[in-house]
Every structure is written in structure tokens, then in C-alpha cells.
């Protein structure tokens, strides 16, 4: 690169392998060549470290790829150096795949590219956090009661992280097995119009990593059927000491396993049957009586109120049309 110079010092700006030799006299007597010196040139390009998927918060067992990208370096024969929280043998490729991540994979990741006698700057650090505890999905309901003919909104979420898709499950009875309603839903909010026991879970990545199932949420559906309250005997006006039965009847509900709720003036323990028998009625039994039926995750509307009035025992009145009995 320079010959015959009397200077023993030069400046260079390119990477490569350099050596020198000395010479003097005429004819020139040359020394043996020096040993080689490797000079590496820093290239102004700065790589970028990315994560695929792009989540910086992941959980034990998930898989993530750390990638080193050099802008404008496509096609060049780069090798890569890594500074990482856990890379015992830094890979020479531009990708480092972490399979079944553990907490020890948490930390900062940085890279640079090398090519012959050239290397890039170190990238900025990207920080990966691996949590040991599996996250649990959270399910919330806009309301726990579906109005007759209506719907309610359910929301599923996973706190502190992103990228989830959601699976939705429903049971229509306590003893039944949960059935998948919808799977791999990007939308975390759905509307439901059926009563039941609901839960959800989140899933993300490839292979899919699932959260713990959410807690169950009970949604009760209001059926359009409306019960009728009747009295047996049918008198709404009775007297102290009489006995009357208040009965809840659901049209078309015969054979169904209903339980019953009562709103009553005096029902300290609302009966689970469809009848409430008042023995030796008192004035305190006066008032309005209403009922509704429940079955698993369904209930009817409240019946119209029937009003019972209990009065003091009446006194019979005897009247004679003549106080004198004629002879014969």
C-alpha cells in the first residue's frame, strides 16, 4: 500500500491483514517480512435485535426467536456475535431460537455482524422477561342475567401481556362437560344469549401456549314464560285461623326440574316447592305473593302479584223474622 517511504508510521482506514518490511542501500537490502497484524474495520451500520413473536413478556414453556437484522446487509456473508443473558455457545447465524423458555432466559440480548475484517456496531439491547408462573385468563360478564330475548357481553383477558387469541367454553348444566363454543378468537369480547357456566383461556405462539383456564362465570337466562300465582281455595279474603295454599304454576313447565323463589309478605324460609301452605292464617300473612321458577342456569320472569287479605274471625249474625213463635 506504500513503498519506499522513510516514515515508519502510517494511518489506515480499511480493515485487513497488514505486514511490513524494511529496505536500505543500493541495491536495496530487504528485511524479512514482519508478522501479520489483523485490523478490523467498524462499519457504521447498526443491527437491530427483534423478537419473533414480538412479545418482550413471555412465560415459562413458550418459544421465541431472537433475530439480528443488519439494514442493507442482505446477501453479505455475515457471521454474528451475541451478548445475551443465556447463550453458552453464541450462534453464528442471525437467529437464536429459545425453545421452552425458562426464567434464566430473561435478560438483555444484543448482537453485531462480522464479515472478513469488518464488523458492525453492537445493536441496542432488547430485554426479554420470562415469568415462571403460568398466567390465568380472567373472564368478566357485563351482567350475570340475560334478559328475556336479549344477550350479555363476556370479556376474556390476560393481564400484562399481548398477542393472545381466545377459546370460549360453556356448560349448560352442573353435571355436563364444558363444550368449546368458539376457538382461536382474536376478539376478546363476545355476546351470549344462552344461560350456562362459562370459562375462557388464552393461547398464542407456535406451538400454541395456553394460559390456565379462567374461573367459571355463571350467566342465568331469563325465559319468556311467566308463572301464575293461585290460591287454593281461591279466596283472596280469608279470616284468622283459616288455611290456604299459595301455588306457583309455570305454563308449559310440567315435568321440568324447577325450584321456586318467592316474594311474600311472610315467608321466612322461601320453599323450594311450588306450594306454600299457610296454616291458621293470621293478619301478618296478609300481603302480596309472587314467584318465579329456576332451572340450572335459567329462570322465569316474576309472576304478577296476588294479594291475600287476612281479617279477624268474623262473627255470625242471626236474625229472626219474628221473635214470637205462633201456636202450631
pLDDT, tens digit, for every residue of 152-205? 999 999 998 889 999 999 998 888 899 999 999 999 999 999 999 999 999 999
Grid cell listed for 166: 381466545
Cβ atoms of residues 134 and 214 within 8 Å: no
Same domain, 233 and 193: no
Cβ atoms of residues 181 and 199 within 8 Å: no
Look up the CATH number of the domain holding residue 202: 2.60.40.10
Minimum mean pLDDT range among 9-13, 56-60, 139-143: 9-13
Q: Is residue 278 assigned to a domain? A: yes
| Residue 180: predicted pLDDT | 95
Residues 60, 129: Cα–Cα separation, whole Å: 10
Same domain, 259 and 236: yes
Which region holds residue 107: left if phi is over 0, alpha if psi is between -120 and 50, else beta? left
| Structural domains in the chain (count) | 3
Same domain, 213 and 234: no
Q: Is residue 305 assigned to a domain? A: yes
Contacts of 171 (CB under 8 A, 6+ apart): 177, 178, 179, 196, 197, 198
Residues 223-236 have a mean pLDDT of 93
The verdict on pTM exceeding 0.85 is no
Same domain, 183 and 118: no
Range 197-229 burial, b when 16+ CB lie within 10 A, else e: bbbbbbbbbeeebbbebbeebebbbbbebebeb
Same domain, 127 and 198: no
Tell me the backbone φ, ψ of residue 44, rounded to 5 degrees: -70, -15
Q: Is residue 18 assigned to a domain? A: no
Give the end of a domain, one of 194, 222, 250.
222
Quickly tell me which residue has 290456604 as its cell: 244
Give the end of a domain, one of 109, 131, 153.
131
Tens of pLDDT, residue by residue over 268-292, are 666 678 888 999 999 999 999 999 9
Contacts of 91 (CB under 8 A, 6+ apart): 80, 82
Tell me the backbone φ, ψ of residue 187, rounded to 5 degrees: -80, 130
Same domain, 98 and 178: no
Same domain, 251 and 218: no
Beta partners for residue 100, in sequence order:
none
- Its domain, for residue 83, covers 43-131
Residues 91-120 have a mean pLDDT of 88
Give the end of a domain, one of 180, 199, 222.
222
Report strand pairing: 298-299 vs 217-222. Answer: parallel
Q: Is residue 3 assigned to a domain? A: no
Residues 23, 5: Cα–Cα separation, whole Å: 10
Same domain, 112 and 96: yes
What is the full DSSP assignment across 2-31? --S-S-S-----S-EEE----EETTTTEEP
| Residue 74: predicted pLDDT | 62
Tens of pLDDT, residue by residue over 154-163, are 999 999 888 9
Residues 54-59 have a mean pLDDT of 94
Q: Is residue 11 assigned to a domain? A: no
Same domain, 199 and 277: no
Q: Is residue 14 assigned to a domain? A: no
Q: Is residue 213 assigned to a domain? A: yes
Same domain, 116 and 180: no
Same domain, 167 and 191: yes
Residues 171, 168: Cα–Cα separation, whole Å: 11
Q: Is residue 185 assigned to a domain? A: yes
Same domain, 103 and 55: yes
Which of residues 269 and 30 earns the better pLDDT score? 30
Q: Peptide bond preceding 207: is omega within 30 degrees of 0, i.e. cis? A: yes
| Residue 90: predicted pLDDT | 66
Amino acid at each position: 500500500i506504500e513503498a519506499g517511504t522513510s516514515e515508519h508510521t502510517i494511518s489506515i482506514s480499511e480493515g485487513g491483514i497488514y505486514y511490513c518490511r524494511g529496505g536500505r542501500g543500493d541495491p536495496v537490502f530487504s528485511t524479512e517480512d514482519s508478522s501479520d497484524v489483523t485490523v478490523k474495520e467498524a462499519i457504521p451500520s447498526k443491527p437491530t435485535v427483534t423478537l419473533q413473536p414480538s412479545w418482550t413478556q413471555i412465560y415459562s414453556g413458550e418459544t421465541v426467536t431472537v433475530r439480528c437484522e443488519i439494514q442493507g446487509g442482505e446477501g453479505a456473508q455475515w457471521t454474528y456475535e451475541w451478548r445475551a443473558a443465556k447463550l453458552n455457545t453464541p450462534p453464528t447465524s442471525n437467529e437464536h431460537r429459545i425453545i421452552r423458555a425458562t426464567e434464566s432466559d430473561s435478560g438483555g440480548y444484543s448482537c453485531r455482524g462480522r464479515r472478513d475484517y469488518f464488523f458492525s456496531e453492537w445493536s441496542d439491547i432488547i430485554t426479554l422477561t420470562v415469568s415462571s408462573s403460568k398466567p390465568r385468563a380472567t373472564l368478566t360478564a357485563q351482567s350475570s342475567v340475560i334478559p328475556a330475548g336479549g344477550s350479555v357481553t363476556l370479556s376474556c383477558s390476560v393481564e400484562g401481556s399481548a398477542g393472545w387469541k381466545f377459546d370460549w367454553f360453556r356448560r349448560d348444566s352442573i353435571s355436563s362437560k364444558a363444550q368449546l363454543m368458539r376457538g382461536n378468537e382474536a376478539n376478546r369480547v363476545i355476546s351470549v344469549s344462552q344461560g350456562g357456566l362459562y370459562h375462557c383461556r388464552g393461547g398464542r405462539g407456535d406451538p400454541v401456549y395456553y394460559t390456565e383456564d379462567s374461573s367459571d362465570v355463571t350467566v342465568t337466562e331469563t325465559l319468556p314464560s311467566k308463572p301464575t300465582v293461585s290460591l287454593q281455595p281461591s279466596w283472596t279474603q280469608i279470616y284468622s285461623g283459616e288455611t290456604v295454599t299459595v301455588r306457583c304454576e309455570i305454563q308449559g313447565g310440567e315435568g321440568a326440574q324447577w325450584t321456586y323463589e318467592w316474594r311474600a309478605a311472610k315467608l321466612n324460609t322461601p320453599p323450594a316447592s311450588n306450594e306454600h301452605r299457610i296454616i291458621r292464617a293470621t293478619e301478618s300473612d296478609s300481603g302480596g305473593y309472587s314467584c318465579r321458577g329456576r332451572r340450572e342456569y335459567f329462570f322465569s320472569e316474576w309472576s304478577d302479584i296476588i294479594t291475600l287479605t287476612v281479617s279477624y274471625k268474623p262473627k255470625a249474625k242471626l236474625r229472626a223474622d219474628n221473635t214470637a213463635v205462633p201456636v202450631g
